[in-house]
Amino acid sequence: MRIADALATAARRIGGETPRLDAEVLLAHQLGCSRGELLLNPDRMIDAQVFERLIERRAAGEPVAHITGHREFWSLDLLVTPDVLIPRPDTETLVEVALKLCPRPPARILDLGTGSGALLLAALSEWPTAAGLGIDASAAALAVAKLNAKRTGLATRAEFRFGNWGEDLDERFDLILSNPPYIAETETLSVEVRAHEPATALFAGADGLDDYRRILPQLSGLLNPDGLAVLEIGHRQGAAVLAMAAGQGLVASLHQDLAGRDRCVALQVAPLQAPA
């Protein structure tokens, strides 16, 4: 079967929001080439039976990243397994905000709920003199993060440790990044997400705010005086998280992703007021 014919047939089978893109990524994975190389040679013949098995998995709702075993994030090629949340392009907003708001290059970076290590490794790739620590409550996720640190050549500057958010950490950081669970337990999700990604990385209580209630009180003890924390939020959670931050004495601002939706909150410890 020719590539052009295979892609057209596969896109019809897959359906959903990005069927053609999904088909191209899967076929490039099968052939061991880039999407660009694939599209430059549309008359190349392929093994239709092998491709059909990949398409069957995708049509059944299995994420493309689980089929290929990797996902690009911040131009880093990361390993992905069902033990970690698949890195999303929207989450790159956190790195963009950190680059914009950090008063100086951070020396120490903390990634709470590191998962695949995506946020920490992206930050380290931008600040070559920084070192960082990734915390996660999943041993399986930490194993993936460590492999990604080696894969990206950042293992000498990235440490990963089992933990429950910022508990028991006795140092302070210049930059804290986190994409915590923020989905309400009753919220309806696609089969692709609910059936294939770890529930512990998705759900956070009845209102989706449980993990902010754990993290925000810890930030003042984890940040250096001029440090910055950037946390991902659900696009309807901005007001609630800002109110929680104010209750912890944190100065907070909302930031949007490329679609114009609230995507993250940037937080700093409020400066002490001089006595009158």
Determine the pLDDT at residue 191: 78
* Single-letter amino acid code for the residue at 98: A
Return d(Cα 258, Cα 93) in angstroms, integer.
8
Return d(Cα 185, Cα 203) in angstroms, integer.
6
Determine the pLDDT at residue 118: 98
Q: Which are the contacts of 188, defined by CB distance < 8 A and separation ≥ 6?
A: none
Determine the pLDDT at residue 195: 84
pTM, entire model: 0.91
What is the SS3 assignment for 243? helix
Q: Which residues of the chain have pLDDT under 70?
A: 272-276
Determine the pLDDT at residue 272: 53
pLDDT in tens, 124-134: 999 999 999 99
Radius of gyration of the CA atoms of the chain, in A: 20
pLDDT in tens, 14-55: 988 899 999 999 999 998 888 888 888 777 778 888 999 999
In the numeric block, the tokens 């005086």 are attached to 225
Determine the pLDDT at residue 263: 97
Determine the pLDDT at residue 274: 45
Domains and CATH numbers, the chain: 3-60 (1.10.8), 82-269 (3.40.50.150)
Return d(Cα 207, Cα 211) in angstroms, integer.
10
Return d(Cα 182, Cα 52) in angstroms, integer.
36
